[in-house]
Amino acid sequence: MEAHMNCSRVLVTVLSASATFLLTSPDALAGPKGEVICRNLGSLEITIDGDFSDWPLDQYEQRSEQPVFPGAKNAASTDASGDHIVFAKDRIGLFNDTQDTPWTFSDGIGDFDSVIYVAWNQDCLYFLEVCVDDILKDDRNPGPCVGLDVGNDGFSIFIDAKNDSANCAATGFPTFNTTAPNADDFELGCGLHSEHPVDDQDPNDVGARQHMERHGTSALIDSNCPGPATYRAFLDALAFPDIAARSYADLGAAGALNPVILSNPGQTFSGFALEVCVPFGFFADFDPALNPVMGFELFWHEADLCGTAFGCSDAGTDAGPGPGSNAISWATWAQSTIVDCNSNPGDALFQTTNWGEIIFDATNPFLSGGLQLPSDTNQDGVVELADAVSLLRHLFANDPSTVPCGDGSVQDPGNIGLLDHNGDGAIDVSDGVAMLLWIFLGGDPHPLAVPGQEGDVCVQIPGCEDSMGCVPP
């Protein structure tokens, strides 16, 4: 199993090398305050249930990291670029009455640490927050209709769907400006919420809710009991869940890759996972086919300190770095620190020029893999002379006209994974020769073959379906 996983990761590294170069190249363009590359899920499917084991966390390549505070706050733009966001207390901005200094922790490294992953497919823009948190707060704003989910632990996102705003998008609550260019701008609150439990698929499931906090189209706002045209009404009509959360006593054991977990082996970190589906099409402009680049900002809300004013108990809480407004610690990815963008637009949260961009990337998808026997060209579950002959006939006579994976071409990444026997990153006559040398003369096996069991054990190869020769009857 370990060899299988290592081989698969090697292949993923090969397939994504070009995308990694794009993300890390000094010539790569970034949004005004950085960019988040939203990777396409490809053939992977995400289930919104609070269980993050179906997310390909080890295939995320680079964090979109802002400069050390206040580098982004005081800059016109940054070169932050990557496909996920890692909370770093010295690289975020605090706002809304929270002190304007790097985040501090009252309970040490187990108090708060968050990684937020993004992905998309034709249905949704997906977010996953994997959060180290010693105290989960989900009991503020009780009642079925109160929508201030930002009062509980979680995060909020700002989207400028047309990426055309360059102004103060809001001067008051709860709307963004209702005319162009802000009519397509919105803010979603996504948080734990005890009044909105899930169906208890797991004993550790936690209630969660997303709502439209602000929108340039005011009818979509659902902070109070939703009407028929609100975002909440749209979510309720979906055939699949839009949000779910689950608590974890040991995030590391569940597969979390948060930096604080990886850098402290042997220590147990508790916390939660919050999964969100933001469905495309709830209004026309929120569509990556129309707008593949959108304005974007994100902020965390850590609500350890509660208070009776919110209808919840403070037993066992810690104050965190704030407390800020509403006794919550608020922090932004792009270091936007002031809410009022009239008196202080340079670093204001609602000043859209201080946002970054989210880029819907279809060129570097996450590739799920089917079980395949490396070099099994004819898919019969055996690597033999017929496989080398089949590959050479395809290359020279186009017979068969396709090879097994993806689009059937030798340029397809799945086929390269399956048939690149000599490991040079391409399929050509040398791979047929390498197969023959291995079969008859003890040459090198396929680089993804399981050592000691070459030709016998199937492995998962991204971009391929299961081979009939690998699937048990």
Are residues 182 and 122 part of one domain? yes
Are residues 328 and 303 part of one domain? yes
Are residues 284 and 196 part of one domain? yes
Range of the domain at 59: 27-361
Q: Give tens-digit pLDDT for 292-350.
A: 999 999 999 888 755 444 444 444 444 445 567 777 788 999 999 888 888 888 889 99
Are residues 48 and 101 part of one domain? yes
Q: Give tens-digit pLDDT for 89-138.
A: 889 998 877 766 666 655 567 788 999 999 999 999 999 999 999 888 88
Are residues 88 and 209 part of one domain? yes
Tokens of 144: 């079925």
> Does 467 reside within a domain?
no
- The mean per-residue pLDDT over the stretch 21-40 comes to 66
Would you give the DSSP letter of residue 274?
Answer: E
* C-beta of residue 4 within 8 angstroms of C-beta of residue 374: no
Within 8 A by CB and 6+ apart from 131, the residues are: 112, 113, 114, 153, 271, 272, 273, 274
CA distance 432 to 422: 9
pTM of the model: 0.75
SS3 per residue for 73-138 = CCCCCCCCEECEEECCCCCCEECCCCCCCCCCCCCHHHCEEEEEEEEECCCEEEEEEEEEECCCCC
Q: Give tens-digit pLDDT for 153-196.
A: 999 999 999 999 999 998 777 778 999 999 999 999 999 988 77
Are residues 390 and 326 part of one domain? no
> Does 2 reside within a domain?
no
- Domain count of the fold of the chain: 2
Question: Rounded to an integer, what is the distance from CA 324 to the centroid of its chain?
Answer: 28
Are residues 377 and 350 part of one domain? no
SS3 per residue for 2-29 = HHHHHHHHHHHHHHCHHHHHHHHCCCCC
Residue among 43, 86, 79, 78 nearest 61 (CA): 86
Within 8 A by CB and 6+ apart from 439, the residues are: 383, 384, 385, 388
